[in-house]
Structure formats: structure tokens, C-alpha cells
Chains A and B, each alone.
Chain A
Amino acid sequence: MLEINNLACTRGDHQLFSGLSFSLSAGELLQVQGENGKGKTSLLRMLCGFLAPAAGEIRWRGQDIRDLDEEYYAEMVYLGHLNAIKDELNALENLRISAGLAGCEVDDKQVIAALRHMGLRGRETLPVKVLSQGQRRRVALARLLVGNAPLWILDEPLTALDVGAVGLMQELIGTHLAKNGMVIFTTHQPLEVAGVETRRLTLS
């Protein structure tokens, strides 16, 4: 379970938010809302431990994530604005490496299955630089399929995706929640998962 107590964030001289508290338990879906510049990405980066909170604490299973460090990282996946894929490598290599960085040793079969699930059949061995923006995003999203971390932190997962892929994401999140996963995400597009209530957190 993820608990946030009285969290505050400052960038430079500017206070983005303060006194933020919420918690997330297994099977819950949380959407972080707010206008541009209200600190959505900063909040997610804080949850990843990139940013130190100006005040407050973030606890995972009762312990501060700064103390847990690598134990916490084993239980979460973060998908940022940037796809974290290399143009020079093909989709297969990219996914195998990102799974490796996330601590999972996967074989080609699993990787190919994940890519196919994301609708990239036949694109597995093409260099990523010839893929479209949406297809690259799909390669990045395929990372969610090769790990088994319970906490997903997704920053604008739907950028550049077409309607079909958005549907795929909804289904993916639905399955993850059904397996007692947790998802925190930001989006400017509507994202509803059947049978799950989306909790909303608005930063203002």
C-alpha cells in the first residue's frame, strides 16, 4: 500500500502543492488531475524518488521510500513522458534491455508475446527509428507486460496512441487491477476502466 502524508513540492521559488495526503491500496486506480504546471509530473517523479519532497513523506508498505530505495523500485514501474527506447535498436532488443534494467530476465518468447499483445506483430525486429510515434509508445508500454511489479506510475500513457491502443491500455489496466495491482496515472484524455471506480486527485 502506498501512503502519502502531507506532501509538499517546490520548484525553484515556486510552491507547486503542499499538504497533499492520500493513500492507495491494492486494486485501486488513481487519476491525478490538474492544469498544466500544477505539479502532476513533479508528483509522479516524487513518487519515483527522483525528487525529494520539500515536506511530508511517501510510504510504501509502511516504510519511507527513501529508506527502502531498491526494494521499492523492484515493486514499481514508471513510464514517463520519454519513452526510454533507443532508435538504433529494434523493438525486441529495446524491450529485453528495459526488462533487464527493471531486474527481470526474460526470454525472447515472452518479449515477442508482449510486443504482439501491444499490436506490434511484424515490427519486432525493425529498428525503432522507422516506427511511428504511436508505435514507439506501444513499445514503451509493452514494458508493463513483462514485469510483475504491483505499482504502476504512468505519466500521460495515452500520448500519441490511437483509439485501438487506448482500448488496449484500458484492458491492460483492468487486468492489472484485477490482479491486485495499483495504478496512478495522469492523462488529458478520458480513461475509464470497466468495473473499477477511478479515484481522482486534483492538484490546484
Chain B
Amino acid sequence: MNRLSLFGLLRLVINRDLMLAMRRRADVLTTLIFFVMVVSLFPLGVGPELGMLRKMAPGVVWVAALLASMLSLGRMFSADYLDGTLEQMLLAPQSLSVLVLGKILAHWMLSGLPLVLMAPVLGLQFDMSVQSLWVLIASLLLGTPVLSMIGAVGAALTLGLRGGGVLVSLLVLPLCIPVLIFGTGAVEAVASGMSVASHLSLLGALLVLALVFTPWVTAQALRISME
């Protein structure tokens, strides 16, 4: 019997969560459909004038992505909490932070990545230019993992609480504001002919910062919630 390496653990956890999601595909699809619906509702709410829609597009897509990722946060730990798997995870002899990182990455692949792939299609509804679409994809690609990471802390803190779903949004949304600002800022910058480098590098900095700290913080939050 071999000891499992840290990388092996990471791969195991990601594979496991992806496999579980594939056996319960509806959950992944509902998040994506929610995202598409929210974005499509905006033109109905504010009118079909293309100039205005083009101006609104990055904000609308980003806010919808933010809400959609909140929607799926409840699932990140709750199923494992209810069937006792989370207890076993806390007893893992390797790093709990790495295990949590695996769960966060899997969560992003299942809820963030589909949004990134869907976003350009929705951008077309808003008559966004090709250049803006590329920047939108880049900003979402850098920003949505941060949403999953900050969200993981919130999900861990509200584990097993009544009304946890709404509560987690209340805790996490304010903390996500910088991501929203830099994400939409990048697209707006390219639309007005400015450089996007500063926005994207700030998003990248947030990503690195979150990558370093949130898995550990989430691990601590899980320990607190399991008491």
C-alpha cells in the first residue's frame, strides 16, 4: 500500500467531485440556465436599444455570473456534510487545505467554467465587439475562480445552518465587489480603447492572493463548523 501524494489527493478529490456531478448533471445545468436567463432578462427590462445594451453588457454578464456562482455555493460542502464524508475529509492525514483546494477547483470547473464558455454567446445578444468578447472571456477566466474561492469560505462558515443559501450570499457578495469592479472595468476599458493590462493584472493579483489564503481559511472554517 502506497501513501498518496499531495498531488494525488488533489487529483482524487477533483475526479471524485467531477464524477459525482456527471452522475447528477441536472445541478450543473440549472446554474448555467439561470445565468443565461438572468442575462437575457435585462434587455426585456431596459429595452432593446443596442447602444445602451452594448454599454451595459459587461456589467450584466458579470453580475449574472456572480449571482449564478452564489447559487451553486450551497452544494460545495453540504452533500458531504450530510452523508458524513466531510468528517472523513477533516481526518485526512494529508493537508486539509489541499483537499479543500481540490473541491474549490472542481466547483469552479462545474459552475465557473461553463459560465466562461457561455458568456461570449450571451455577449453577442448584447452586440459586443469581438475584441470586447475576448477581454470578457479573459476577465471571467481570471475572476470566476476567485468567486469560487471566496464563496468556499462562506459555504464552509454557513454549513448546516437554516437559510444557509441566502446567508452565504449575504456574507460573500460584498467580498466579491473588487472582482466585479476589475472584471467589468477590463471590458469597459477595451470598449473605450484603453489598455486592459492593469485591470487584468489586478484580477490576476486577486486570484493569486485568493489561491494562497482561501483554501487554508476554508479549512479552518470547516473545522469550526464541524464542532
Contact = CB atoms under 8 A, between A and B. Distances in A.
Interface in B78-102: 82-85, 87-96, 99
Contact of A106 (B1, B95, B96): B1
B93 A98 contact: no
A78 interface: yes
Interface string B129-173: 000000000000000000000000000000000000000000000
A106 B23 CA distance: 23
Interface of A: 48-52, 70-71, 73-74, 76, 78, 80-89, 93, 97-98, 100-106, 110, 146-148
Contact of A97 (B3, B16, B226): B16
Contacts of B227: 50-52
26 contacts: A71-B93, A73-B91, A73-B92, A78-B87, A82-B84, A82-B87, A83-B83, A84-B85, A84-B88, A86-B20, A86-B83, A86-B85, A97-B16, A100-B8, A100-B9, A101-B88, A101-B99, A102-B93, A103-B3, A103-B9, A104-B4, A105-B1, A105-B3, A105-B4, A105-B8, A110-B1
B2 interface: yes
A159 to B, nearest CB: 13
Contact of B1 (A85, A93, A101, A104): A104
Nearest to B1: A104
Interface of B: 1-4, 8-9, 12, 16, 19-20, 23-24, 82-85, 87-96, 99, 223, 226-227
Contacts of B4: 100, 103-105
Contacts of B88: 78, 84, 98, 101-102
Q: Which 4 A-B pairs have the closest CB atoms?
A: A82-B84, A74-B93, A84-B84, A88-B23
A85 B2 CA distance: 22
Contacts of B19: 89, 93
A188 B92 CA distance: 28
B1 A83 contact: no
Nearest to B79: A86
A105 to B, nearest CB: 4
A86 to B, nearest CB: 6
B188 to A, nearest CB: 43
B24 A88 contact: yes
A187 to B, nearest CB: 18
